[in-house]
Amino acid sequence: MAAKREFDDFNDNTPAGVDAMAEKHLVQPWPVSGSIGAEARGFIESGEGIYVTDHTGRRLIDGPAGMWCVNVGHRNKELAQVMHDQAMALSYNSPWYTTNQPSAVLAKRLAGLAPEGLGHVFYTTGGSSAVETALRFMQFYNNVKGRPEKKMIVSREGGYHGSTYLSASLNGRPRDHDWMDSAREQILKLSCPNPFRRSAGMTEAEFTDFLVAEFRALIEKVGADKIGAFIGEPIMASGGVIVPPEGYWPRMRALCTEFDILFIMDEVVTAFGRLGHVFAADEAFGVKPDMITFAKGVTSGYFPLGGVMIASRLFEELRQSNHNDAMFAHGLTYSSHPIGCAVALKNLDILEEGLLDYAQSISGHFQSRLKALEDLPLVGEVRGRGLMAGIECVADHVSNNPLTLDLEVGKRIDKHCQELGLLVRPLINMCVMSPPLTISIAQIDEMADILRKSIVITQDELVREGLWKG
């Protein structure tokens, strides 16, 4: 018999015990080496509607809806029931050799909801694997088409696309690459389309011209025959809710069409209701991509599922090629998972039976209540669309410079918000908000009031500590 180890008897399920087990054995995502493998994080015990409850019994508005994902809210009985029913009917089947009903029904339904032409879906386990799939499909497609040189991928500074090797190589936020390797030789980066950070004296229209000209110049420099895909989030989420300038998307799409570059929209955050649509590409931005990646809201975070909508014409081209035996050697054990697909179908029912309309109807109030925070000296800009918003703190309203500020200011605001009943997602000098779509007007008001109070407390604290001039 194996010797007893130190923790075999440890079975303390109290909050302190859970923290101890996490600290001893759990590797948290995005850790720093000073505490890697030895860190406990805030312990959330339960959720209900737009609220989560922490281990002290404190009820908090879930400002980021988990990670931009709990779109229908916590503890939705219909989603819980469908997971139970599907598990009892068929908990798993191998997508290598068989198929299941929910995945096919969902595929047909998604094809009907996606922009015209995106008639096929490949399911994954989340957003990174969806992005990875889209990129590997581009590589396969160009190999089969006899142009193996056409593989470079264009992404943007400020973007976030995932944590697998190739998807992470696309990322362009500060700190993403400081200590990590990446497939640099396959990636080209464009400027972040952040109107707030455009050069002084430039109009928004001139900024769009600049961004489009930059893309054209890159294509001409590198050669269209070397570039396989361009990928972008319609609104950069984890980069700080960056809404590109007017006219940007149709013109970027047009360049991709002109140079035969596959145009991939990463809708991992924006799809399934965040902007009031199932897919935002066409309905909110007027573009029809060649591929759309999605995850998160597709199951409202109840089950890890993602996928890529792919233009059916690409498959027709492949079927007509001279390489009938060329294999797209790519697939995940949990591709087309029956429980994930069943949950996604019920989630879509909820969205289409009123929640999308409701989200659209309250987004004006959400945006205007948060926008009003711009009168605070610490707040440089509040921006967003639909039910996603970013609050950016600056040293002053003239320079809009964050650098002379305590860059952990987002964490300070989050701490004060939590004391007042609101969870926010701190991002360096920013806070991002993306609550469950079920939030009421009164709850939006409560959220905005808590944010205002917490930012005022933070301002006073920074001045007191000599970290900000005020």
* Phi, then psi, of 56 in degrees rounded to 5: -90, 0
Please say which residue, 126 or 240, places its beta carbon nearer to ligand PLP.
126
Contact call for residue 66 and ligand PLP (CB under 6 A): no
Site stretch for ligand PLP (CB under 6 A), options 36-44, 155-163, 214-222, 407-415? 155-163
Q: Quick one: CA dihedral 367, 370, 374, 375, positive or negative?
A: positive
Angle between helices 101-113 and 338-350 in degrees, nearest 10: 40
Contact call for residue 132 and ligand PLP (CB under 6 A): no
Taking the complex as a whole, how short is the minimal distance between the CB of residue 95 and ligand PLP, in angstroms?
Answer: 19
| Closest by Cα among 227, 238, 230, 228 to 162 | 238
* Phi, then psi, of 231 in degrees rounded to 5: -130, 140
Locate all alpha helices (DSSP H) within 325-440, ordered by sequence: 338-350, 356-371, 409-420
Asked whether the beta carbons of 272 and 280 are under 8 A apart, the reply is no
Candidates 153, 166, 188, 268: give the one binding ligand PLP (CB under 6 A): 268
Site stretch for ligand PLP (CB under 6 A), options 6-14, 137-145, 264-272, 435-443? 264-272
Contact call for residue 126 and ligand PLP (CB under 6 A): yes
Contact call for residue 432 and ligand PLP (CB under 6 A): no
Site string for ligand PLP, 229-258 (x = CB under 6 A): ----x---xx--------------------
Candidates 19, 62, 176, 266: give the one binding ligand PLP (CB under 6 A): 266
* Phi, then psi, of 95 in degrees rounded to 5: -75, -10
Site string for ligand PLP, 184-223 (x = CB under 6 A): ----------------------------------------
Which element (helix H / strand E) includes 122?
strand 120-124
Structure letter (DSSP) for residue 199: P
Which element (helix H / strand E) includes 470?
none
Candidates 153, 190, 269, 431: give the one binding ligand PLP (CB under 6 A): 269
Candidates 295, 359, 370, 439: give the one binding ligand PLP (CB under 6 A): 295
**Number of residues located near ligand PLP, criterion CB under 6 A:** 16
Block residue for tokens 């009907």: 112
Locate 238 and state its tokens: 């984890």
Taking the complex as a whole, how short is the minimal distance between the CB of residue 171 and ligand PLP, in angstroms?
Answer: 9
> What distance in Å separates the CA atoms of residue 32 and residue 235, rounded to the nearest whole number?
28
Residues in contact with ligand PLP by CB under 6 A are 67, 126-128, 131, 160-163, 233, 237-238, 266, 268-269, 295
